[in-house]
Amino acid sequence: MGMLDWREKSSAVLLQGGVIGPDERLPWPQTAVMGVQHVVAMFGATVLAPILMGFEPNIAILMSGIGTLIFFVVTGGKVPSYLGSSFAFIGVVIAASAYAGKGPNPNIGVALGGITACGVAYTLIGAIVQAVGTGWIERLMPPVVTGAVVAVIGLNLASLPIKNMAASNFDSWMQVVTFVSVALVAVMTRGMLQRLLILAGLLVATVIYALLTNGLGLGKPVDLSGIFNAAWLGAPIFTAPVFSTNAVLLIAPVAIILVAENLGHIKAVTAMTGKNLDPYLGRAFMGDGIATIISGSAGGTGVTTYAENIGVMAATKIYSTAVFVVAGLIAVVLGFSPKFGALIQAIPLPVMGGVSIVVFGLIAVAGARIWVDSKVDFSDNKNLLVAAITLVLGTGDFTLKFGQFALGGIGTATFGAILLHALLNRAPRQPAKS
């Protein structure tokens, strides 16, 4: 089977609650709509990361699209994944470029040099993994570890919507309205509409939000002026990297975090699809690494496989890589359209927050599902402690500093789970006291 010849499945499959695998696709019109849903899911975070670092958001969108297409080609179209701006770079980029936190970053060049170097390191790690095979991954990451790491990816992000996306009590209630809307679409509808639960719930909640704010004056009104003022077409502002040893030494080690994230994501997608994607792990790292090099050399952020999009796959059970080709192409077009960027940025923050609560929660549950499907024995103290410690490290965002380099919650949880499991595996087994 070639890279672009997906087996077409009819929409009837969805009505019967069926699954669309990575090498299958729905008819193109439905595939396109699913692609739009994935673009909406990744948009908030992919635009937020560059804003926090003083980068140009439109380049980040453009590079997320190009990166996703590169990833598709490098993995031979076998791994369903979207590449968006990585938050792992924010701390080190701010440190390396001494960014003040508002407006364009005047020292963006040195940060881009570091991001590009990180991409090179990441690509080399991928090449090594591809060369030596992936048997060692199975030994290092049995289901108890994988499940905990996947759950942590969702739980670590949980505070984002709750702390940062609800400024007032009204906003918090709007988040409730949003996740209830998504849940009702998921349970009450059938077929294609049910698979578009994120998009449909978001639209319903945005309309309710507009009625309550613009109509009844209850909260911050929806502001459409940005959409009217933005141009339909406009080239983003590209910037070239500048290589400084200090910035490279600070930013390149982020490759370790990206490896941890990508590993967790691929394990999550493997668990959902029932297809073993481990053989493509080296290629996935290389695809992500090459995409980060290209993004960094044009003025974009480093990229990583995206938890938001994995959450959408968990909800829709559509794993077709065709959807990600469409999403990538849409993002490339949008990178040249300031108007679309303005449209997405006009979506009220509490509504985005409510959607995020659903998406991150779905990833956390995907981790628990790995334990259930693999029948992990929690009467064994080793499994119990690996899972318990990992969950709290990740959820609490436990951070360890090595000089200037900080390993945040997802990184400490991933490596903590692997090392703890390896350590406890050497000890003689003892049954848990009941």
Within-domain flag for 185: yes
Is residue 155 a part of any domain in this protein? Answer: yes
Query: What is the model's pTM?
Result: 0.74
In a 13 Å sphere around the CA of 399, the CA atoms on its Cβ side amount to 10
Domain extent for 353? 22-426
Pairing between β-strand 400-402 and β-strand 405-407 as defined by DSSP bridges:
antiparallel
Range scoring the smallest mean pLDDT among 66-75, 81-90, 279-288 = 81-90
DSSP category for residue 24: E
**Are residues 327 and 38 in contact, defined by beta-carbon separation less than 8 angstroms?**
yes
Quick one: pLDDT at residue 387? 93
- Give the whole-number percent of the chain exceeding pLDDT 90: 18
**Is 88's pLDDT higher than 90?**
no
Structural domain contains residue 72 = yes
Under 8 Å between Cβ of 420 and 386: yes
pLDDT tens column, 323-336? 999 999 999 988 88
Q: 352 pLDDT exceeds 60?
A: yes
- pLDDT tens digits for range 197-223: 777 888 889 899 888 888 777 877 777
With a pLDDT cut of 70, the percent of the chain lying above it is 93
> C-alpha distances in angstroms, 34 versus 110, 201, 325?
37, 14, 11
Are the C-beta atoms of residues 319 and 269 closer than 8 Å to each other?
A: yes
Cα separation, 145 vs 386, whole angstroms: 7
Domain-embedded: residue 122: yes
Non-local (6+) Cβ contacts of 353 within 8 A are 161, 162, 164, 165, 166, 171, 175, 178
C-alpha span between 149 and 418 (Å, rounded) = 9
Q: Is residue 13 domain-resident?
A: no
In a domain? residue 2: no
In a domain, 405, yes or no: yes
Tell me what the pLDDT averaged over the chain comes to.
Answer: 83
- Return the HEC string of 129-198: HHHHCCHHHHHHCCHHHHHHHHHHHHHHCCHHHHHHCCCCHHHHHHHHHHHHHHHHHHHHCCHHHHHCHH
How does pLDDT run across 221-264, given as a tens digit for each residue? 777 787 788 788 888 778 888 888 877 877 887 787 788 778 87
Q: Answer whether residue 351 is part of any domain.
A: yes
d(CA 3, CA 69): 12
How many structural domains is the chain composed of?
1
Which residues lie below 8 Å from residue 71, measured CB to CB, with a gap of 6+? 79, 81, 83, 284, 287, 288, 291, 305
Q: In angstroms, rounded to a whole number, what is the distance separating the alpha carbons of residues 355 and 361?
A: 10
